[in-house]
Structure 1
Amino acid sequence: MGTSAPYQLVAERFREAIAEGDWAPGHRLPSRAELGAEYGVGENVIRRAQELLITEGLLEGRPGAGTYVRERQQRLTMLRCPALGHPSAPLAPEGVATWEANSTAKAPAPDAIAARLAIAPGEHTVRTAYEFLDSARRPLMTAVSWEPMAITGTTAVVLPDGGPLAGRSVVERMAHLGIEVVRANERTRPVHLDREQAHLLGAAAGSLATLIERTYVDRDDRPVETADLLIPADRWNIDYQLRLLTTERATD
């Protein structure tokens, strides 16, 4: 232990406090300044120790509220089989109690997003950032959505979080405009959370997450919305259900 870095030594003391019950599940840790004074180290050392235990699943960060001893939680399952035939399907996956959304109109489409939407770079979109929370308002996942304003810009459903269909699915909002969404294209890849993403998710910077790049397409093969879903790997199982054609249907 004598050759361990200071943050590792502090992290071991934190583990002992949790294991011995001094810090019970749900306990809010003192501020980094208070812990630094107690352990005789700087706040940066405390931050690194906390991030290490967040990665290990012993602590969790809650944006704006501090760092807590994590309560034992059952892993959630996200079922990726979009019910396009059921436009009233809920926006949030099972296990999410509520969500917060913040929309920005006339947001220029970044190059990569423009390519996914088949529009020109810089063309106006509605960008909506979502935070999905559990019943204790702990962050579970985030999403960022872009919709071409050429489609919704002059309608009552231009803002996903406002208007007569606020909080409803993309499929239902598009159906209100007479647009039938028939397909969802998804690409998944592992990513490491940067500091901003980790802060929103109450996780450690650098921890593993799954990024799902989803694009909804209408009957004319036109992209009508694209979104980045960011899902912490330590909280979710991601299950896909694939419908297979029967031999009779496949040969029709």
Structure 2
Amino acid sequence: MAGAPYRRLAAHLRSLIQNGDWPPGYRIPSHAQLQQQYGVGRGVVERAIATLKAEGALEGIRRARPVVAYPPAVRTLVSPDVDWPVHRDAKRAESRPLAGDDLATRLGIPSDTRVSCVAMEMVDGSGVTVGLCTTWRRGRRRAHVSYRCEIVPHQVTAAEAELTGLTAGAAAFLLQRVRYEADGRPVEACDLVLPVDRWRLGCGPRRGD
């Protein structure tokens, strides 16, 4: 087969997936096993796997063996102000000493204010990652009566891929939401990353009543 060694390996592994030899959810062999089986170097294996992850054929977080991806189910998000209809696993929770200029503006606080940050991987019933929800708030959680949400095109970043089974560089929607108390003060800011191959949006940029 013509082409670079990693392309040849990627084509062979792709055929294993397409033929059903590696079914959805199958955790593929380790780098060392693939190197030994196909007589190639580690760099070839890494580039072949990266190619298949970029195509969406494989998924998984770094430092863990990838799994064969399930065909993505397409969901519709009707409102960005309801509980997400999928399970969430906490991947990172921390107290940040600086809100940063963008977050400070969204939360209406000085840029050096300490805020809590929780990043949660969104996983459906079959264990497929369908998004990432990152929330910032100052102090305890408080009730809200309205919200504002802006939607912008986005590509999954390396940091977001590190936290989830999403692929870095994949096209996604980025929903940037702020919730408000009755007096108009912001109580929470949230970024929701939704891959475009797994979600349709039945909502638009708006502020709740």
Q: TM-score range by the shorter chain?
A: 0.7 to 0.9
Matches within 5 A, 1:78-117: 78-80=77-79, 82=81, 91=83, 93-94=84-85, 96-100=86-90, 102-105=92-95, 107-117=97-107
Secondary structure of the structure 2 residue equivalent to 1:80: coil
Change (3 A) 1:41 1:199: farther
Number of the residue aligned with 1:166: none
CA contact (8 A) 2:129 2:166 kept: no
CA distance in 1, matches of 2:119, 2:95: 12
2:191 pairs with 1:228: yes
Based on CA coordinates, which of the two structures has the bigger radius of gyration?
1
TM score, norm. by length of structure 1: 0.71
Aligned amino acid, residue 114 of structure 1? A
Aligned amino acid, residue 70 of structure 1? A
Q: Structure 1 segments of 4 or more deviating over 6 A?
A: none
Which of these residues, 174, 196, 203, is aligned with residue 142 of structure 2? 174
Aligned amino acid, residue 31 of structure 2? R
Which of these residues, 101, 104, 119, is aligned with residue 129 of structure 1? 119
Aligned-pair CA distance for 1:119: 1.0
RMSD: 2.5
Aligned-pair CA distance for 1:98: 4.0
CA contact (8 A) 1:198 1:204 kept: yes
2:14 pairs with 1:51: no
TM score, norm. by length of structure 2: 0.84
Matches within 5 A, 1:59-208: 59-61=58-60, 65-80=64-79, 82=81, 91=83, 93-94=84-85, 96-100=86-90, 102-105=92-95, 107-149=97-139, 158=140, 173-175=141-143, 181-208=144-171
Unaligned residue ranges in structure 2 (runs of 5+): none
Aligned amino acid, residue 55 of structure 1? A
Secondary structure of the structure 2 residue equivalent to 1:205: coil
Secondary structure of the structure 1 residue equivalent to 2:122: strand
Number of the residue aligned with 1:247: none
CA contact (8 A) 1:127 1:147 kept: yes
CA contact (8 A) 1:98 1:135 kept: no
Matches within 5 A, 1:204-215: 204-215=167-178
CA contact (8 A) 1:213 1:226 kept: yes
Aligned-pair CA distance for 1:132: 1.8
Aligned-pair CA distance for 1:146: 1.2
CA distance in 1, matches of 2:169, 2:43: 16
Change (3 A) 1:27 1:81: closer
Matched length: 206
Deviation readout 1:77-128 (Å, 9 max, x if unpaired):
222253xxxxxx5x3x22x134326433464211211111111111121222
